[in-house]
Amino acid sequence: MAGPEARHPAGHTVRTVGEASTMRVRSASTAAPGRLENEDVVFRFGPLVGVLDGATVPDGFDTGCVHGPAWFVRHLAARIGLAVAARPAATLVSSLAAALLAVRADHGDSCDLDHPGTPSATVCLLREGVDEVDYLVLCDSPLVLDVGGRVEVVSDDRLDVAMADLRRIAAGLPADGTDPQTRFRQAVSVQRERMNRTHGYWVAATDPDAAYHSVTGTLPLRGPNAVRRAVLLSDGASCAVEQFGLLDWAGLLDLVTAEGPGALIDRVRAAERAHPDRLRRHKRADDASAVLCEFPSRD
């Protein structure tokens, strides 16, 4: 990602990623405490900004692949950039599909790409145009927008719906003495069976068709309903609102604008330390990424 780099006091890598036409971009991304590798990636290629959140593989689970989530998100980010550069007029859906197809080839012959545990990632993209912005959200990396002074959130809740359904099923099973670890493994196996399936949820993995199940849209950059600000988030950052209730979405936008994306992550880390019992999908903490895009008035 191009542009000058600085260190946030709490250790986040913070970059001002440059100027497209008028869009200003600031970002922060950090691995979960105690983990050496960040499975999130944030990127900018000209007018395109993105956040990818690689799916952590639970200990002891096979993936059929010699690569991990960090490899996958890095390759997918690069392939998305190349796809957009090759066909600037293409939709974000088409560019993501082309990128997934290219990453499938990047795996080589040593990976079982039909394995249900193959590396995967959520996707949140925003592309600036002359008079409008396009967006794409796939799985649980939300996009928060200031549209004409109103706060709007673009989200894909199909994973949460699938997980809630799994919890209902598990709650209805008889307590037969099965240990928690075995029940967890059974739940993960069922979740994998629902990935990239109708009536399940969709995520970027090896099937290019997943791109066509993204949540997409276009918003103006001029007029009373113009986009003024946008924040792209991985769920490790959006949990400030969704899990811990530290802020509402408007408060998140204002915090990130005033103090920078790193300040949001700092608040999440403090909440994780204060509430170690609040697990999100069996994790006390997660990689966290936030990208702020600001669009000065064009009227």
Cα–Cα distance measured from residue 234 to residue 42, given in angstroms and rounded to the nearest whole number: 9
Average pLDDT, the chain: 86
Quick: pLDDT tens for 1-11. 433 333 333 44
Q: Output the six-digit token pair for 217.
A: 């849209």
Q: State the average pLDDT over residues 260-280.
A: 90
Average pLDDT estimate for 143-162: 92
User: Which pair of structure tokens corresponds to residue 28?
Assistant: 């922060």
3-state secondary structure of 56: coil
CA distance 112 to 263: 40
* Domains and their CATH numbers in the chain: 24-156+202-294 (3.60.40.10), 157-201 (no CATH)
pLDDT at position 169: 60
Rg, the chain, Cα only: 19
- Report d(CA 184, CA 166) in Å as an integer: 11
* Window from 91-95, 180-184, 258-262 with minimum mean pLDDT: 180-184
DSSP 8-state class, residue 58: P
Listed residue (209, 205, 227, 2) closest to 127, CA to CA = 227
3-state secondary structure of 143: strand
State phi, psi for 211 to the nearest 5 degrees: -60, -35
| Range of weakest confidence among 37-41, 115-119, 201-205, 267-271 | 115-119
pTM attached to this predicted model: 0.86
Residue 287 has pLDDT above 80, yes or no: yes
Give the whole-angstrom CA distance, residue 188 versus residue 190: 5
14 pLDDT tier (thresholds 50, 70, 90): very low
User: What is the reported pLDDT for 174?
Assistant: 57
The structure tokens listed for 165 are: 């359904």
